[in-house]
Structure 1
Amino acid sequence: MKILAIDTTSGACSAALYADGRICEQFFRAERDHTRRLLPMVEAVLAEGQSSLTQVDALAVSQGPGSFTGLRIAISCVQGLAFAADKPVVPVSSLAALSRGARRSHPDWGDAPVLAALDARMQEVYWGLYPPGEGANALLADAVSTPEQVVSSLKSAGFLTADTASTNCSLYAVGPGWEYPALAALKPLAVSTESAIHAQDIAVLAAELWQRGIQVSAEELEPAYLRNEVTWKKRARIRQR
């Protein structure tokens, strides 16, 4: 199985080729240079993996949530490549990829779940709770909420004890969304706010989803913004002031 994955969700740009368990990846932190870098990175990982676009089984991309512009860049690129090569696409949650990447970077982390949180601006975070291991299924589905609502949701679902002020909560924290005081006050077992989303993690998760028959056509691929249209229009008006 060969899967080509791309990501520009956050302040990084990456491409990876998964080939029967072997992974080649190109990764750069580049806030505003994604469009220029992306296709050369795709060519580089295909060359390193001695493959061509026509030889991959599917393409994979971070579906979101995340930066509006970043999601559009990666999804547009994947759609163009998928149309050209007549390949299906496996959409992957950016939060699932962030969670997997954190576990890959921290092999000492134990069996507690990982709460991945990205800053969604407007005093909100994109977040999802993922189990131990490297699977794509969430314990609590990806959502956009205020940090206080995240805490409430965790309590309602039984993932927090009644008193979180004096003891560590039994979960690991990853992503810049954890810089909000309401989340930081939970005292997770460990925090990794600098972790980035990597295409290699998207590729591995996509391989699992592909084996389960989860795929879409290029024209069916849509970003998962989580925010509704009204909210995005409000953000556009704020930028124009």
Structure 2
Amino acid sequence: MSTLLALDASSSACSCAVWHKGEVISRFALTPREHTRRLMPMIDEVLAEAGLMPADLDALAYGRGPGSFTGLRIAAGVAQGLAFGLDRPLIGVSTLEALALAAHRQYHLRYVISALDARMNEIYVAAYRCQDGRLTQVLDETVMPPEQLRIPLAYQDADWCGVGSGWALWDAMPTLVQAALSQRLPDLQPDAADMVRLAVDAFEAGDGQLAHEVVPVYLRDQVAWQKR
């Protein structure tokens, strides 16, 4: 069975988790502007609690975005440095997918719209259908003003939940979106404990990459490039 380490610094939270023998050992803390100082000690703590050395890892993963530009670069730098030094594959995990898995795993929700506050009156957003721990993306990751959000056409009658900081912009959401949601969890943050679960599936499906090939996903850069 694979042993993986995941880390995340994409939001105001900093987290780290190890998957070992089918169990997750993790650390999570709301530490705005302290990610650089807190991340490495967290890694040492989870490895020690699991009784592991870095060389015992089969692969590493990190929250590849979207999220805070600075936080994504911090996590990418640490993860790539470790993966390169250990000669292990690296997996970038979507922060929006991790949010959806958290909602499904903790609250048994089946239809989840993950949204993160992208600042400048925009949100990073994607939607998922969740069943038995498996996620199917039904709305591609994108960045948009909250006023432009729409429920996927094939799932107009589903019972949706909104998760993530983007739902703090509730008042700007279209009335049809508001009507489709039965609940909101705006305080839920991306967490390495969910990312490591997604990374295990990706790794065992053969999705690991060389450390230098994995890059953060900013979304806003992509949109700006398309506009130019």
Query: Does the pair score TM above 0.5?
Result: yes
How far did 1:149 drift? 1.9
Query: 2:161 is matched by which residue type in structure 1?
Result: Y
Cα displacement string for residues 53-79 of structure 1 (whole angstroms, at most 9, x for unaligned residues) = 111110011110011001000010001
Query: 2:119 is matched by which residue type in structure 1?
Result: R
Residue 91 of structure 1 aligns to a residue in which SS?
strand
Cα 1:15/1:138, change in 2 over 3 Å: same
Cα 1:229/1:171, change in 2 over 3 Å: closer
- Whether 2:196 is the aligned partner of 1:203: answer yes
**Unaligned 5+ residue runs, structure 1?**
162-168, 233-241
Tell me if the contact between 1:14 and 1:38 (Cα under 8 Å) persists in the aligned partners: yes
Instruction: State the match for 2:187 in structure 1.
Output: 194
- Whether 2:45 is the aligned partner of 1:56: answer no
Rounded Cα–Cα distance in structure 2 between residues aligned with 1:64 and 1:81: 19
Q: 1:176 aligns with which of 165, 176, 198?
A: 165
Cα displacement string for residues 137-161 of structure 1 (whole angstroms, at most 9, x for unaligned residues) = 412111111112222xx25x33336
Tell me if the contact between 2:65 and 2:217 (Cα under 8 Å) persists in the aligned partners: yes
Query: 2:17 is matched by which residue type in structure 1?
Result: A
Counting aligned pairs with the same residue, the percent is 38
- Whether 2:87 is the aligned partner of 1:86: answer yes
Tell me if the contact between 1:178 and 1:184 (Cα under 8 Å) persists in the aligned partners: no
Tell me if the contact between 2:163 and 2:184 (Cα under 8 Å) persists in the aligned partners: yes
Instruction: State the match for 1:158 in structure 2.
Output: 154
Tell me if the contact between 1:136 and 1:205 (Cα under 8 Å) persists in the aligned partners: no
Instruction: State the match for 1:238 in structure 2.
Output: none
Tell me if the contact between 1:75 and 1:223 (Cα under 8 Å) persists in the aligned partners: yes
Rounded Cα–Cα distance in structure 1 between residues aligned with 2:120 and 2:62: 26
Cα 1:55/1:136, change in 2 over 3 Å: farther
How far did 1:104 drift? 2.5
Cα 1:145/1:29, change in 2 over 3 Å: same
Instruction: State the match for 1:117 in structure 2.
Output: 115
Cα displacement string for residues 67-112 of structure 1 (whole angstroms, at most 9, x for unaligned residues) = 10010000100011111111110111000001111223324x3x3x
Instruction: State the match for 1:132 in structure 2.
Output: 130
How far did 1:220 drift? 0.6
Residue 222 of structure 1 aligns to a residue in which SS?
coil
Instruction: State the match for 1:165 in structure 2.
Output: none
Instruction: State the match for 1:65 in structure 2.
Output: 66
What's the Cα RMSD here? 1.8
| Matched length | 219
Query: 1:139 is matched by which residue type in structure 2?
Result: V
Rounded Cα–Cα distance in structure 2 between residues aligned with 1:54 and 1:87: 9
Tell me if the contact between 2:112 and 2:160 (Cα under 8 Å) persists in the aligned partners: yes
Cα 1:228/1:58, change in 2 over 3 Å: same
Cα displacement string for residues 15-74 of structure 1 (whole angstroms, at most 9, x for unaligned residues) = 100013101001110001110111110011001111111111100111100110010000
Residue 81 of structure 1 aligns to a residue in which SS?
helix
Tell me if the contact between 1:7 and 1:13 (Cα under 8 Å) persists in the aligned partners: yes
Normalising by structure 2, report the TM-score. Answer: 0.90
Residue 208 of structure 1 aligns to a residue in which SS?
helix
How far did 1:2 drift? 0.4
Instruction: State the match for 1:227 in structure 2.
Output: 220
Residue 138 of structure 1 aligns to a residue in which SS?
strand
